[in-house]
Amino acid sequence: MTKSPSAPSARLGSGLRIGVLALQGDFREHLRAIEETGAESAGIRRPKELDGLDGLIIPGGESTAIDKLARAFELAEPLRERIAAGMPVYGSCAGMILLAADIADPATDLSGAPQQTFGGLDITVRRNAFGRQRESFETDLDFKGLDFSATESGVAPVHAVFIRGPWVERVGPDVEILAQVEPADPEHASHAVPLPGTARIVAVRSGHLLATSFHPEVTGEKRVHELFIRMIRGEA
């Protein structure tokens, strides 16, 4: 069950207008998560709707479909320009792929042309890295940058849901790693894909850009959205 937001978190976004790219994917869940911070939310489908935004979320879904629709709706180039100019953006799952500078295994269209991204994050991602839909999994993550949520017991881990999620295979020098999925203990594996000896990067930040491989909007975990709001306000 999703918990009601506390009074402080419900006021955190007050006065902000945050868009969610609403071409495909789970944009409705992000719209609700934003509204629960007290911010005004807006579904974005046209270039003119980018005007007046304090930040933007690119949701999970099909990265190839979002890429194609963004170009069809003439949103792709305006998005690239806004991101390059410093607009705060959070991408979850497919959104992480679309913010990446490089895709290790890009999909191709019928002409053989690789899928495109909006860019901004100096990272290389691998699509569907943890497996297909039936290999979705949940796990708890130590997540940097959530000190604002600390209690006497410290900062609680983030319960993360991975649904055909990517992982990050390369980070540039200005990219901060916020969370990793650790190698699986064979007796207590939380995911189907064996990760021998190597932690997999699943959350990163670089300046005004934030990205996660997982879907905080589906579990009632509001702290990632709250972190994004604090980034917009210059408080994180």
Q: Which residues are catalytic?
A: 93, 215, 217
Q: How far apart are CA 124 and CA 97, in angstroms?
A: 9
Asked if 93 and 60 count as a contact pair (C-beta separation under 8 A), the reply is yes
Adjacent-strand bridge partners of 41: 18
Whether the Cβ atoms of residue 158 and residue 224 lie closer than 8 Å to each other = yes
Extract the tokens encoding 172: 């540039």
Amino acid at 121: L
Q: What angle do CA 158, 95, 66 make, to 5 degrees?
A: 145
Which residue is it, tokens 């997540």?
143
Name the β-bridge partners of 181.
200
Angle between helices 76-84 and 63-72 (to 10 degrees): 100
Distance CA 154, CA 173 (A): 29
Secondary structure letter of residue 215 according to DSSP: -
Instruction: Quote the Cα angle for 10-175-31, to 5°.
Output: 30
